[in-house]
Amino acid sequence: MRTSIKALAASTVLAVSAFAAAAPALADEAAPPSDFTVTGSVAIASQYRFRGVAQSDNKPVVQGALTIAHSSGFYVSTWASSASAGSSPVNIGGTEIDVYGGYTKTLSGITLDGGLYGYIYPGATLGNYYEIYGSVATTVGPATAKVGANYAPAQKVFNINWTSSSRENLYIYGELSGSIPSTPILLHGHIGHTGGGFDYPKQYIDYTVGATVKWKNLALDASLVGTNATRTKFFNSNLGAGSAATTNAYYRTGKPVGVVSLTASF
């Protein structure tokens, strides 16, 4: 009986030892974390504004985004939105698809980002265009500050100029955001300046001031968005062409308005 017990004990010790020896091997065989990260989002918004100007005739839109990022800092993304068409003053063919890619890196608390951005309008007659972009962001106390620029070099889209003879465009901007402590609320502000081939109707300033409430993977945002493009500027430009009705139609696309959106991220 004792011999059997000893044999059983010896067998148990050998089995445990064998399992312990095999455990690291099993751990080593586990797949390492991927260097790639895939993220995305879908959203509905009361309207789509780009640099302060309505791109959906002040009507609701559906939007979506997808990003593939590598641990090295390189990434590629796509973003799409329903948009204005038909008789809208800003007719971009009903759909906008953006494709962009670049590199981002954080050094000593400063995040650098830059790349190439393409704007595709499948149903538009003015054509697609691209920009070179870059930005710098850092934390300032409880807030995050960011400044950046988007430069559109000479290309086909500038063959048809609205109010400027320039064959290039420069957009510069600054942003400030920060969370309210112990709340899910994020406050954010943006101000930008457009100058060149995309003058509307002349060089103009756009702004956004708003708040975002986050819950799990959902974000509800309410913002005031607008530009400093006045009725007088449109009336005296070749966009307004001295017509009160046409002037009001263009002014409506850039006047201050509240925009609400709900975004789900994954």
- Give the model's confidence band at 190: pLDDT under 50 very low, under 70 low, under 90 confident, else very high: very high
The pLDDT value given to residue 125: 82
Does residue 106 register a pLDDT over 80? yes
Rounded Cα gap, residues 126 and 77, in angstroms? 24
**Interacting residues of 108 by C-beta distance below 8 A, sequence separation 6+:** none
What are the domain boundaries of the chain? 34-265
Rounded Cα gap, residues 163 and 160, in angstroms? 9
Average pLDDT over residues 232-242: 88
- Give the model's confidence band at 29: pLDDT under 50 very low, under 70 low, under 90 confident, else very high: low
The continuous run of DSSP H or E covering 188 comes out as strand 185-196
The pLDDT value given to residue 165: 85
Does residue 63 register a pLDDT over 90? yes
Give domain 34-265's CATH superfamily.
monomeric porin ompg (2.40.160.40)
Residue 84, classed as helix, strand or coil, is: coil
Task: Say what the pTM is.
Answer: 0.86
Convert the pLDDT of each residue in 194-205 to its tens digit: 999 999 999 999
Tokens matching residue 125: 């007659």
- Give the model's confidence band at 21: pLDDT under 50 very low, under 70 low, under 90 confident, else very high: very low
